[in-house]
Chain A
Amino acid sequence: MTIIRLEDVTRTVALPDGRPLTILSGIDLEVFEGDRVSIVGRSGSGKSTLLNLLGLIDSPTSGEVWFEGAPARSFSAAGRDRLRGRRIGFVFQQFNLLARRTALENVMTPLLYDGGRDFWRRRQIATRMLENVGLGHRLDLPPDRLSGGEQQRVAIARALVRRPRLILADEPTGALDLETGSTVMELLERVADETDAALVTITHDPNIAGRSTRHYRLDAGVLSIRDEARR
């Protein structure tokens, strides 16, 4: 089943002098349930903009983004925010954990925006999630008391605590050493497998990109497929 589909998507921004700058052009991409997709590209190639479009944070200048079969432009702003919270999980390069909050409070944060039963059970769910990523003994520690690998594991637990259908990882190992990066990726893939979520990884690292089943390259705003091995 298709989770998200980008159809001839273009993203243009206006420069201070009024001239348009095309960041992405003619992007076609389809992500399926349980998919493992990697996108590599140099700095300034439009990777983050693409990630924002996939995460329903940004809207295309032209073309269409479909999420679970519905055109994203048909959602209201609040509806899009809620959908993002429910269906999409983000893992950032700099972890982006909330400072001065414990690991448990960080993982509980997405559940604060759940309008259902999970809101009331957020502490148990977050605790279970942290135990699942091997941090059951670090629940009450703030980010600055955790190692880089542990912080990224907290970020992964936080991204997946609402069981998203789509996980967007922006340079997830960029701030980690090789060994820790590899462990973190294994964990990310394992937890994504457990929930049958699609994982889209944006990276510089060919080793990390190599772990995916479909590989794309983004060059000057144009997405090209490198090879595809559908699982």
Chain B
Amino acid sequence: MNGLPSRFLTGLVGAVSEAWSELRVHRGRVLLSLIGVGVAVCALTGVVAAGSIAEQALRESSERSGGRAATMSVSAYNPSGAQIPVADVRAAFQEAVRRYDITYSSEHGYSQQQIRFPDGRRLVSVETVEVPFGQMHRVETIHGAWFTDADERRLAPALVVNQRFWELIGSPDLRTHPTVALTGSATDVTALVVGVTPSSSFETEPTSFLLASQALALLGPADQEMYGTPQFEVWVPPAISQELGQRLSADISGQLGDDVQVDVYRNDYAEQNAESLRQVQLLVGGIALLVLLLGALGLVNIALVTVRARIREIGIRRTFGATAGRVFFAVMMESVVATVAAGVVGVMLAILLIRNPITTGYIAQGVTDVPPFPMEAALLGLVAASAVGALAGLVPALVAVRVKVIDAIRY
């Protein structure tokens, strides 16, 4: 290996080893000057990482309750307070869905159901839904599966229950087709548990999903009167959601008559929430950047003083063949090597801070699957550290290059 590539490689390795040796010799000073940089990198990385995790948590919980973007709720009511027959609303909604060729739609109602558990009967909240609801709300199961079309055809109603419910019936293996007794309007009905959804730490009560078609057989007119007309949901591309919403509203109210008011509105808050979170992230990230800049200023200050104290040494190195470029690069590398080391420590500290159970419990509240530490946050921290190192190294490196060899040796 000869010529330019060899000279470049030896120059690079030489400059890095020179920088490292310089840092080793002045480790006390370096350590002190780098604390600020390390803390700032830790803050910057931590903020970005915590923001990403919180955003995911927010999106997850938002999607679970409000649906994916853009999920729209369709509700029909009579301003006079008169009850609208559910069958009419359902038929009008289904007609509109068919007319506008909407792939994902579901009824979404709330009711309660008496269920017999080993320790006695309990009133359990039940959400009446249709098969597409699982995809629309990104419902995850930890055992079994979400409803399928085959479940619609079952003679016994199928249930997707939450983890607490499943624990109350003794955490059975779903391959054994566990059943529970529901109290129907006339007689008890045996229902089959087909899936279990995860429960977050703050969820203590058993809940269940029931297919709307099967709920019809279970819930009497009294229930309908008590819980009102269910809502209906459609999941459509966000770009056309506004226009489609207006048309759906007009279409359904046209079918149900003039005295019925039909509201169609976006139910998902994921995007809006993420936007406000991004603003908080930007604010805190901006503060961390300011801290980083202050750290860099401290670093420049110390590096300048050090370079002035090293003028003689730089002169000696020049007599032994160090070119001006090499001196510039070596002084610059000192700063970069030091800040990258501080950056690595800062990022590791941020990982420790963010991934420990206390912080995770706080920022990822209610999240079933806490995402790993975001790689982009760690990369951002390291890039910021290197950039600060390069910037902070620039001024002292320029001073070092301007050193006159003759004067330096006599310094």
Contacts and interface: CB of A to CB of B under 8 A. Distances in A.
Interface of A: 48, 52, 55, 57-58, 77-78, 81-82, 84-86, 90, 92, 96, 98-101, 105, 109-110, 112-116, 119-120, 158, 162
A82 B4 CA distance: 13
B320 A115 contact: no
B6 interface: yes
A113 B317 CA distance: 9
26 contacts: A48-B406, A52-B405, A52-B406, A57-B318, A57-B319, A58-B406, A78-B324, A81-B318, A81-B321, A81-B322, A82-B321, A82-B323, A85-B321, A85-B322, A90-B320, A92-B409, A96-B312, A98-B316, A99-B313, A105-B21, A114-B321, A115-B6, A115-B7, A115-B10, A115-B11, A116-B2
Interface string B290-328: 000000000000000000000011001111111111100
A110 B321 contact: yes
Nearest to B320: A110
Q: Is the interface of A mostly helix, strand, loop or mixed?
A: helix
A113 B320 contact: yes
A115 B21 CA distance: 19
The residue among B10, B319, B326 with the most chain A CB atoms within 10 A of its own CB is B319
Given A48-B410, A81-B326, A90-B320, 9 more contacts: A55-B319, A78-B325, A81-B324, A84-B320, A85-B321, A109-B317, A113-B323, A115-B6, A115-B11
Contacts of B321: 81-82, 84-86, 110, 113-114, 162
A112 B324 contact: no
Contacts, number: 73
Nearest to A57: B405
Contacts of A55: 319
Interface in B163-193: none
Contacts of A109: 317, 320
A185 B318 CA distance: 25
Interface residues of B, number: 28
Interface string B366-391: 00000000000000000000000000
Interface in B5-21: 6-7, 10-11, 13-14, 17-18, 21
A55 B325 CA distance: 19
A96 B406 CA distance: 13
Contacts of A96: 312, 316, 409
B48 to A, nearest CB: 39
A100 B25 contact: yes
A7 to B, nearest CB: 21
Contact of B319 (A84, A99, A119, A120): A84
A112 B17 contact: yes
Q: What 9 pairs between A and B have smallest CB-CB spacing?
A: A85-B321, A115-B7, A113-B321, A110-B320, A81-B323, A78-B323, A119-B10, A112-B14, A100-B25
B25 A112 contact: no
Contact of B326 (A57, A113, A158): A113
A168 to B, nearest CB: 9
A160 B81 CA distance: 104
A100 B25 CA distance: 7
A90 B406 CA distance: 13
A49 B119 CA distance: 102
Contacts of A110: 320-321
Q: Which of B7, B11, B316, B410 has the most CB of A within 10 A?
A: B316
Contacts of A77: 323-324
B373 to A, nearest CB: 39
Nearest to B7: A115
Contacts of A113: 14, 317, 320-323, 326
A55 B318 CA distance: 11
B231 to A, nearest CB: 75
A158 to B, nearest CB: 8
Contacts of B316: 96, 98
Nearest to B315: A96
Contacts of B17: 112
Given A77-B324, A92-B409, A101-B25, A112 B319 contact: no
Nearest to A88: B319
In this complex, the member of B2, B406, B410 whose beta carbon has the largest number of chain A beta carbons within 10 angstroms is B406
A16 B11 CA distance: 39
Contacts of B7: 115
Interface string B1-44: 01000110011011001100100010000000000000000000
B324 A114 contact: no
B313 to A, nearest CB: 6
Contacts of B14: 112-113, 119
Contacts of B25: 100-101
A52 B326 CA distance: 21
A99 B316 CA distance: 12
Nearest to B325: A78
A99 B13 CA distance: 22
A120 B10 CA distance: 8
A85 B313 CA distance: 15
A114 B14 CA distance: 9
Interface centre among A55, A84, A101, A112 (most CB of B within 10 A): A112
Contacts of B2: 116
Contacts of A52: 405-406
Contacts of A119: 10, 13-14
Contacts of A105: 21
Interface in B257-287: none
Contacts of A90: 319-320
A98 B406 contact: no
Contacts of B325: 78
Contacts of B323: 77-78, 81-82, 113
Given A77-B323, A81-B318, A113-B321, A57 B406 contact: yes
